[in-house]
């Protein structure tokens, strides 16, 4: 069994990465040309890694299941990307970004990794600007910033509400250059089905061509997993429909530890669920909390009147509104971190103050911002600051310029005009902090297998701060992995090309084909979605925003039973030798059904509350998360032992040398 050696370098935090980089074994340019690297995924992490590795000289094969790398889930990212540039002169620094991230993660992340992330954050912005990413600029031409939750500075760089898309276009252009040079071979519509190990090292993957159904073997000296997060284990989430855990889960089953699977982020500002037949939830970017104020009515009679349509939110007087985040957290107000904001919304809705028919919605209101901006504009233009109609018009123009595409999206989905009436929002599953365990070099517990981006667990602890996922994905892909991978590959320069004609490839391919055959030959009656939905309901009800021992034990039993039923009764139409979307889904849901059980087991084991993991048994009298540092200051890294219930727990103890571990407070 591989040891849980995180390979954290010696020295002070600010020395670690610099010293490590200069001590890393290097591979000569001539040898790089002899080395093949597989990258699974073309989101921001995979695309940036592929482009950089190819630029360095490695031969890269990159895979994605979409028809183009440009369609990776990363394009959904709206709000922005953090970097400690201190352009606003508001006291930001590497240390402050590091501190905010460790605190935001509720002291459950690895100090050294987070410091490195903060250090390289500034390089990312320079790199992306050089690629032509059109970040928003202020009047003077400097890059603009806004604030995200859990911080008191403005360090979020953005490109309207399309930051992920613009960043991905930058990385994709860099990739395309390498595709043109023949240094990257791109495999669109190819799904990784398994990892192949030879002599205990990752040496290749088995893929399925999603268009023809063909099973293929691909070898390499290292395999990099950049396959994103697993929020869709909940069925309903803000993730892209295709996001799945399969690549991560396959490597887990081959020996990669899975870390903190229960650490999930529930985002506070999503469009509420509207009915039973919904298959997707939509995020309203956190950037809206810069200007929007969150509230519910103070009086129960107002709530009832709103629900029956007798009263409009705009008719409720200011003194009858409960701006509960501003009330409970005066220092951070509407910009508390996501876990805190989500729980506060749930608390109000559980108390009966939810404002839609299901009772699961709160208001996000721009009226005050529209007036504030309108008055400012009137002042700038020398117009009448007491003309309410004019002020509203001018204010709406400013809000439209800042958030127009998000407002349009809301109107299209909900059919209400958010410039005129407050938006309704509710928390939804959004991001997974847990993932494949990696060491400081981003290598998993399988030699030669790396995990980057949302697929790994590395930097966000028990709660990720807004705009930090893009930062981590691009840090991993552009600046960390391309250095650290050499350390491992320097021992591999004499290996030569890896043959796919070996018993290990034969065995892995056979397993894949057998599973596909079993699915299409199953005489079941229930669709794949039937099981996915049922799993999602168990996860949301018992492993969602709050968790308790009884519910988690029930979830473990129910998921196991559901999995057994799935294998007996799932119906997958068509054959394995053709385009078959249901078959592709069946494989992904099979993996979710295993992950779900490990998720609940992990949540059961961690009896403390921390970040997004809220155990009802562990809370303060005010209902805040109560950590147990004495017993739980560790990363839970699970080793696969045949089935999720038998997974073995390894603990990576978290040591904080330069940060004082405190109770998290945003009051």
Ligand X SMILES: Cc1cc2nc3c(=O)[nH]c(=O)nc-3n(C[C@H](O)[C@H](O)[C@H](O)COP(=O)(O)OP(=O)(O)OC[C@H]3O[C@@H](n4cnc5c(N)ncnc54)[C@H](O)[C@@H]3O)c2cc1C
| 461 Cβ contact partners less than 8 Å away, ≥ 6 residues apart | 102, 104, 105, 106, 107, 108, 109, 263, 433, 610, 611
**Residue 79 touches ligand X, criterion: CB under 6 A:** yes
Token readout for 60 is 């890269």
**Candidates 28-36, 66-74, 308-316, 509-517; binding stretch for ligand X (CB under 6 A):** 66-74
Residue 345 and residue 325 in contact, taking contact as beta carbons nearer than 8 Å: no
User: Which residues, 524 to 543, sit near ligand X by CB under 6 A?
Assistant: none
**Candidates 211-219, 239-247, 353-361, 365-373; binding stretch for ligand X (CB under 6 A):** 239-247
**Residue 74 touches ligand X, criterion: CB under 6 A:** yes
Helices (runs of H) and strands (runs of E) counted in the chain: 19, 19
Q: How far is the CB of 161 from ligand X (least distance, A)?
A: 9
Residue with tokens 């667990």: 457
Alpha-carbon distance of 589 to 595, in angstroms, equals: 10
Question: What is the sign, positive or negative, of the torsion defined by CA atoms of 84, 88, 92, 97?
Answer: negative
**Residue 612 touches ligand X, criterion: CB under 6 A:** no
Among 17, 34, 41, 219, binds ligand X (CB under 6 A): 41
Alpha-carbon distance of 430 to 236, in angstroms, equals: 9
**Residue 162 touches ligand X, criterion: CB under 6 A:** no
Token readout for 498 is 């890896």
| 376 Cβ contact partners less than 8 Å away, ≥ 6 residues apart | 398
Q: How far is the CB of 51 from ligand X (least distance, A)?
A: 13
Q: How far is the CB of 346 from ligand X (least distance, A)?
A: 20
Q: How far is the CB of 63 from ligand X (least distance, A)?
A: 4
Euclidean distance between the first and final Cα of the chain, in Å?
A: 45
DSSP class of residue 619?
A: B
**Residue 467 touches ligand X, criterion: CB under 6 A:** yes
Among 6, 42, 112, 484, binds ligand X (CB under 6 A): 42
Q: How far is the CB of 243 from ligand X (least distance, A)?
A: 5
Among 283, 325, 425, 654, binds ligand X (CB under 6 A): 283
**Residue 603 touches ligand X, criterion: CB under 6 A:** no
**Residue 459 touches ligand X, criterion: CB under 6 A:** no
**Residue 66 touches ligand X, criterion: CB under 6 A:** yes
Q: What phi, psi does 266 have (nearest 5°)?
A: -105, 120
Residues designated as active site: 338
Q: How far is the CB of 582 from ligand X (least distance, A)?
A: 16
Instruction: Report the DSSP beta bridge partners of residue 40.
Output: 63, 225
Q: Is 572 helix (H, G, I), strand (E, B) or coil?
A: coil
Task: For ligand X, give the closer residue by CB, 124 or 391.
Answer: 124
**Residue 509 touches ligand X, criterion: CB under 6 A:** no
Q: How far is the CB of 229 from ligand X (least distance, A)?
A: 6
Task: For ligand X, give the closer residue by CB, 478 or 566.
Answer: 478
| 588 Cβ contact partners less than 8 Å away, ≥ 6 residues apart | 244, 245, 246
Residue 565 and residue 625 in contact, taking contact as beta carbons nearer than 8 Å: no
**Residue 453 touches ligand X, criterion: CB under 6 A:** yes
Among 37, 60, 81, 316, binds ligand X (CB under 6 A): 81
| 172 to 211: interface string for ligand X, x by CB under 6 A | -------------------xx-------------------
**Residue 587 touches ligand X, criterion: CB under 6 A:** no
User: Which residues, 405 to 434, sit near ligand X by CB under 6 A?
Assistant: 430-431
Q: How far is the CB of 628 from ligand X (least distance, A)?
A: 28
Strands 36-40 and 59-63: parallel
263: left (phi over 0), alpha (psi -120 to 50) or beta: beta
**Candidates 61-69, 400-408, 531-539, 603-611; binding stretch for ligand X (CB under 6 A):** 61-69
Among 38, 39, 40, 184, binds ligand X (CB under 6 A): 40
Residue in 45, 39, 29 with CA at minimum distance from that of residue 64 = 39
Task: For ligand X, give the closer residue by CB, 32 or 430.
Answer: 430
Task: For ligand X, give the closer residue by CB, 34 or 174.
Answer: 174
**Candidates 341-349, 462-470, 554-562, 628-636; binding stretch for ligand X (CB under 6 A):** 462-470
Token readout for 272 is 């509420």
DSSP class of residue 131?
A: H
Q: Is 39 helix (H, G, I), strand (E, B) or coil?
A: strand
189: left (phi over 0), alpha (psi -120 to 50) or beta: left
**Residue 458 touches ligand X, criterion: CB under 6 A:** no
Among 165, 243, 356, 546, binds ligand X (CB under 6 A): 243
Instruction: Report the DSSP beta bridge partners of residue 225.
Output: 40, 451
| Site size with ligand X, rule: CB under 6 A | 45
Residue 214: how many other CB atoms lie within 10 Å: 12
| 476 Cβ contact partners less than 8 Å away, ≥ 6 residues apart | 45, 48, 49, 442, 452, 453, 456, 458
Task: For ligand X, give the closer residue by CB, 464 or 615.
Answer: 464
Q: How far is the CB of 286 from ligand X (least distance, A)?
A: 7
User: Which residues, 314 to 353, sit near ligand X by CB under 6 A?
Assistant: none
Q: How far is the CB of 249 from ligand X (least distance, A)?
A: 9
**Candidates 119-127, 433-441, 465-473, 578-586; binding stretch for ligand X (CB under 6 A):** 465-473
Alpha-carbon distance of 339 to 274, in angstroms, equals: 22
User: Which residues, 207 to 236, sit near ligand X by CB under 6 A?
Assistant: 226-229
The length of the chain in residues reads 667
Residue 243 and residue 429 in contact, taking contact as beta carbons nearer than 8 Å: no
31: left (phi over 0), alpha (psi -120 to 50) or beta: alpha
Q: Which residues bind ligand X (CB under 6 A)?
A: 40-46, 63-66, 72-74, 76-81, 163-164, 191-192, 226-229, 238-239, 243-244, 246-247, 283, 430-431, 453-455, 467-470, 473
């Amino acid at each position: 069994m591989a040891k849980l050696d995180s390979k954290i370098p010696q020295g002070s935090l600010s020395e670690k990465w610099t010293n490590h980089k200069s001590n890393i074994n290097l591979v000569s340019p001539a040898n790089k040309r002899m080395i093949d690297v597989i990258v699974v995924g073309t989101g921001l992490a995979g695309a940036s890694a592929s482009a950089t590795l190819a630029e360095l000289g490695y031969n890269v094969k990159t895979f994605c299941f979409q028809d183009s790398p440009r369609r990776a889930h990363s394009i959904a990212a709206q709000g922005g990307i953090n970097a400690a540039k201190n352009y606003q002169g508001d006291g930001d620094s590497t240390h402050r970004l590091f501190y905010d991230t460790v605190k935001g993660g509720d002291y459950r992340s690895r100090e050294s990794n987070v410091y490195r992330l903060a250090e390289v954050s500034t390089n990312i912005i320079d790199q992306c600007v050089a690629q032509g990413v059109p970040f928003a600029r202020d009047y003077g031409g400097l890059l603009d910033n806004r604030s995200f939750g859990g911080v008191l500075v403005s360090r979020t760089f953005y490109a309207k509400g399309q930051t992920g898309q613009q960043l991905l276009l930058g990385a994709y252009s860099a990739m395309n250059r390498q595709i043109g040079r023949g240094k990257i071979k791109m495999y669109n519509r190819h799904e990784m089905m398994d990892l192949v190990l030879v002599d205990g090292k990752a040496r290749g993957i088995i893929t399925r061509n999603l268009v023809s159904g063909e099973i293929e073997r691909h070898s390499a000296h290292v395999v990099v997993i950049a396959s994103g997060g697993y929020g869709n284990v909940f069925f309903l989430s803000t993730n892209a429909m295709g996001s799945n855990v399969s690549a991560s889960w396959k490597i887990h089953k081959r020996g990669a530890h899975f870390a903190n699977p229960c650490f999930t982020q529930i985002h506070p500002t999503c469009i509420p669920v509207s009915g039973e037949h919904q298959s997707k939830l939509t995020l309203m970017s956190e950037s809206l909390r810069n200007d929007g104020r969150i509230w519910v009515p103070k009086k129960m009679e107002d709530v009832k009147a709103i629900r029956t349509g007798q009263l409009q939110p705009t008719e409720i007087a200011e003194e009858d509104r409960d701006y509960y985040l501003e009330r409970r957290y005066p220092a951070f107000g509407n910009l508390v971190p996501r876990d805190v904001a989500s729980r506060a919304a749930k608390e109000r809705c559980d108390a009966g103050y939810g404002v839609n028919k299901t009772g699961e919605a709160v208001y996000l209101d721009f009226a005050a911002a529209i007036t504030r901006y309108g008055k400012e504009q009137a002042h700038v233009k020398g117009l009448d600051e007491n003309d309410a109609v004019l002020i509203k018009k001018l204010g709406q123009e400013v809000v439209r310029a800042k958030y127009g595409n998000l407002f349009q999206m809301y109107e299209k989905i909900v059919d209400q005009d958010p410039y005129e009436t407050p938006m309704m929002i509710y928390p939804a599953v959004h991001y997974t902090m847990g993932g494949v365990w990696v060491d400081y070099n981003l290598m998993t517990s399988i030699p030669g297998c790396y995990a980057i981006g949302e697929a790994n667990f590395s930097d966000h602890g028990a709660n990720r701060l807004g705009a930090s996922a893009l930062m981590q994905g691009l840090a991993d892909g552009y600046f960390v992995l391309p250095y650290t991978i050499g350390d491992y590959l320097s021992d591999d320069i004499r290996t030569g090309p890896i043959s796919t004609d070996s018993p290990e490839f034969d065995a892995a391919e056979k397993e894949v084909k057998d599973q596909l055959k079993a699915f299409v030959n199953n005489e079941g009656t229930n669709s794949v979605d039937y099981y996915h939905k049922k799993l999602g309901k168990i996860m949301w009800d018992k492993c969602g925003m709050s968790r308790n021992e009884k519910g988690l034990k029930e979830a473990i039993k129910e998921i196991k039973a559901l999995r057994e039923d799935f294998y007996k009764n799932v119906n997958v139409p068509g054959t394995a030798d053709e385009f078959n979307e249901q078959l592709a889904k069946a494989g992904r849901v099979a993996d979710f059904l295993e992950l779900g059980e490990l998720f609940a087991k992990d949540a059961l084991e961690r009896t403390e509350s921390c970040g997004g993991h809220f155990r009802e048994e562990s809370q303060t009298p005010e209902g805040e998360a109560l950590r147990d540092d004495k017993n739980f200051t560790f990363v839970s890294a699970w080793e696969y032992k045949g089935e999720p219930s038998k997974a073995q727990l390894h603990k990576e103890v978290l040591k904080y040398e330069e940060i004082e571990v405190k109770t998290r407070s945003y009051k």
